[in-house]
């Protein structure tokens, strides 16, 4: 696994914050449109074009901006608990 230095934002962690937000927002009608707009704005803030120019600092800045936009959703999302249940099948030979 490749991890960025601690001084840089981690795009994988930002992705993990974004992913559960969609189904959570979709499940609750009250304020749904506003929360969807805020999430979409955060996602759109991630700009890949600096990477095409070799501008890592520009890409990192876009990740920071996206995270900052997403922070507005955090208090609402923190009222929920997500539980994951895994299933495994092991063949014994």
CB 22 within 8 A of CB 15: no
Domain boundaries of the chain, sorted by first residue: 11-77
Could you read off the pLDDT tens digit of each residue along the chain, which spans 93 residues? 677 788 889 998 899 889 988 888 998 898 899 999 999 999 999 999 999 999 999 999 999 999 999 988 888 888 888 787 888 777 776
- Residue 22, judged by CB atoms within 10 A of its CB (0-12, 13-18, 19+), counts as middle
* Percent of the chain's residues with pLDDT above 70: 98
pLDDT of residue 1: 66
Q: How many CB atoms lie within 10 A of CB 31?
A: 11
Which secondary structure element, helix H or strand E, spans residue 86, and what is its range? none
């Amino acid at each position: 696994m490749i991890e960025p230095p601690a001084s840089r934002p981690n795009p994988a962690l930002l992705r993990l914050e974004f992913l559960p937000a969609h189904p959570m927002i979709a499940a609750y009608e009250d304020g749904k449109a506003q929360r969807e707009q805020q999430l979409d704005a955060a996602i759109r803030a991630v700009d890949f074009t600096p990477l095409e120019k070799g501008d890592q600092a520009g890409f990192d800045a876009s990740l920071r901006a996206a995270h900052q936009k997403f922070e507005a959703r955090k208090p609402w999302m923190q009222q929920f608990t997500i539980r994951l249940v895994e299933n495994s099948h092991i063949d014994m030979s």
